[in-house]
């Protein structure tokens, strides 16, 4: 067995609330191999972004992490801050949703990437500048040399996101975390960035953790998909299996409620009710109150993973009863 680039086991993230510790991520486990893209999908508040923050050890205080987060076999949950900073700069790359707020408005775009490189490597400014211009060309920034000297406000949203991607790639990370990388972009610009990310993925063997709410983006980029609901992964499997043959009632409902697959005039499938807030999370199945296939067991305990073949699993008592198809 080769070692996964990123392995997360039984991750729990809690925040203090009314004298107790309230979980926002509750027992999440997955692995990503080198060269693989795993998408973590779910609706607002499911804990997907918090999981990404945890993988970078950037969970805001007073949040606390429990569980294992291994980068190439090394647990980073207990690393001292200066060590962790080094890991973040060299082994982990990050692309955030809002390029506007992640770039400093008072520094030239290229200099920000130079800074990122020189923070972690002993290279001259001239050398770093050359590398940044190469990176800008690699992420298809037109007139890379001129754009090196541009301030972020002089760049469009799509170009800013390319600068962010260049920065994430600058230190050749083994794990890349992309949190809603195209959500703020218009559809034609999103297509350009998706094409770019697909190309980069072919060229590098970095493991990519893609966080998104957009199943279309998942379909474009992911090899495997993990569906999150109320702090837990409820279904995980290959892209084709999860999107074409979903088994967990939440995944089934989510896909059916999308207008993309519905016929015009046909009623969209509705998932009744709303996602329970963390204050109402129980030890049982958290989808039970909205689930069309709910059975007695569901409100008593949490369902275990039912293996469905080829690495595909769902955590659901109804699926457990019918088993693999």
Stretch that binds another protein, among 53-61, 120-128, 187-195, 317-325 (CB under 8 A): 187-195
**Is the peptide bond between 62 and the residue preceding it cis, with omega within 30 degrees of 0?**
yes
Stretch that binds another protein, among 1-9, 92-100, 218-226, 296-304 (CB under 8 A): 218-226
In the bound state with another protein, the residue whose beta carbon lies nearer, of 21 and 238, is 238
Is there binding between residue 264 and another protein (CB under 8 A)?
Answer: yes
By CB under 8 A, the count of residues binding another protein is 45
DSSP code, position 318: H
Residue 299, helix vs strand vs coil: helix
CB burial of residue 197 (10 Å; 0-12, 13-18, 19+): buried
User: Of 55, 69, 71, 159, which lies in the binding site for another protein, with binding defined by CB under 8 A?
Assistant: 159
Interaction with another protein in 112-131: which residues (CB under 8 A)?
A: none
Is there binding between residue 36 and another protein (CB under 8 A)?
Answer: no
- Cα distance between residue 215 and residue 243, in whole Å: 8
292 to 92, 248, 270, 289, 302: CA distances (angstroms): 41, 11, 11, 9, 17
User: Of 61, 122, 267, 325, which lies in the binding site for another protein, with binding defined by CB under 8 A?
Assistant: 267
Is there binding between residue 186 and another protein (CB under 8 A)?
Answer: yes
- The distance of closest approach from Cβ of residue 193 to another protein in the complex, given in angstroms and rounded to an integer, is 8
User: Of 2, 124, 188, 279, which lies in the binding site for another protein, with binding defined by CB under 8 A?
Assistant: 188
Is there binding between residue 269 and another protein (CB under 8 A)?
Answer: yes
Is there binding between residue 64 and another protein (CB under 8 A)?
Answer: no
Is there binding between residue 254 and another protein (CB under 8 A)?
Answer: yes
Stretch that binds another protein, among 20-28, 114-122, 249-257, 291-299 (CB under 8 A): 249-257
Interaction with another protein in 83-102: which residues (CB under 8 A)?
A: none
User: Of 133, 169, 217, 234, which lies in the binding site for another protein, with binding defined by CB under 8 A?
Assistant: 217
Contact 25, 47 (CB under 8 A): yes
**What's the order of all strands across the beta sheet hosting 207-212?**
92-95, 175-179, 207-212, 37-41, 224-229, 232-238, 313-315, 305-307
Identify which of 15, 63, 24 has the alpha carbon closest to the alpha carbon of residue 280: 24
Is there binding between residue 152 and another protein (CB under 8 A)?
Answer: no
Identify which of 163, 150, 309 has the alpha carbon closest to the alpha carbon of residue 241: 309
Stretch that binds another protein, among 24-32, 64-72, 78-86, 210-218 (CB under 8 A): 210-218
User: Of 106, 259, 279, 323, which lies in the binding site for another protein, with binding defined by CB under 8 A?
Assistant: 259
Identify which of 51, 63, 67 has the alpha carbon closest to the alpha carbon of residue 226: 51
Stretch that binds another protein, among 26-34, 77-85, 102-110, 252-260 (CB under 8 A): 252-260
CB burial of residue 288 (10 Å; 0-12, 13-18, 19+): buried
- Cα distance between residue 224 and residue 237, in whole Å: 6
Stretch that binds another protein, among 9-17, 170-178, 247-255, 317-325 (CB under 8 A): 247-255
In the bound state with another protein, the residue whose beta carbon lies nearer, of 159 and 298, is 159
End-to-end CA distance of the chain: 28
- Can you give the binding site for another protein, defined by CB under 8 A? 43-44, 142, 156-159, 186-192, 194-195, 213-220, 239-240, 243-244, 253-255, 257-262, 264, 267-271, 274-275
């Amino acid at each position: 067995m080769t070692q996964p680039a990123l392995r997360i086991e039984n991750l729990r993230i809690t925040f203090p609330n009314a004298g107790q510790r309230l979980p926002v991520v509750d027992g999440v486990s997955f692995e990503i191999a080198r060269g693989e893209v795993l998408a973590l999908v779910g609706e607002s508040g499911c804990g997907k972004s918090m999981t990404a923050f945890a993988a970078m050890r950037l969970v805001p205080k007073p949040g606390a992490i429990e569980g294992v987060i291994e980068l190439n076999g090394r647990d980073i949950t207990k690393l001292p801050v200066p060590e962790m900073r080094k890991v973040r700069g060299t082994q982990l790359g990050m692309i955030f949703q809002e390029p506007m707020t992640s770039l400093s408005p008072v520094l030239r775009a290229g200099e920000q990437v130079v800074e990122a490189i020189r923070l972690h490597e002993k290279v001259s400014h001239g050398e770093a500048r050359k590398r940044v211009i190469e990176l800008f060309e690699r992420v298809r920034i037109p007139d890379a040399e001129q754009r090196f000297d541009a301030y972020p406000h002089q760049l469009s949203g799509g170009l800013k996101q390319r600068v962010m991607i260049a920065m994430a790639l600058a230190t050749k990370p083994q794990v890349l975390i992309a949190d809603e990388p195209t959500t703020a972009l218009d559809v034609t610009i999103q297509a350009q960035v998706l094409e770019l990310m697909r190309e980069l993925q072919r060229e590098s063997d970095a493991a990519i953790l893609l966080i998104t709410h957009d199943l279309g983006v998942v379909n474009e980029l992911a090899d495997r998909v993990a569906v999150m609901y109320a702090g837990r992964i409820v279904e995980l499997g290959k892209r084709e299996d999860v999107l074409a043959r979903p088994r967990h009632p939440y995944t089934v409902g989510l896909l059916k409620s999308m207008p993309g697959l519905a016929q015009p005039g046909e009623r969209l499938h509705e998932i009744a009710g709303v996602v329970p807030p963390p204050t109402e999370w129980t030890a049982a199945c958290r989808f039970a109150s909205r689930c069309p296939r709910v059975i007695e067991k569901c409100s008593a305990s949490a369902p275990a993973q039912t293996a469905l073949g080829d690495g595909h699993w769902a955590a659901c008592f109804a699926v457990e009863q019918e088993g693999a198809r």
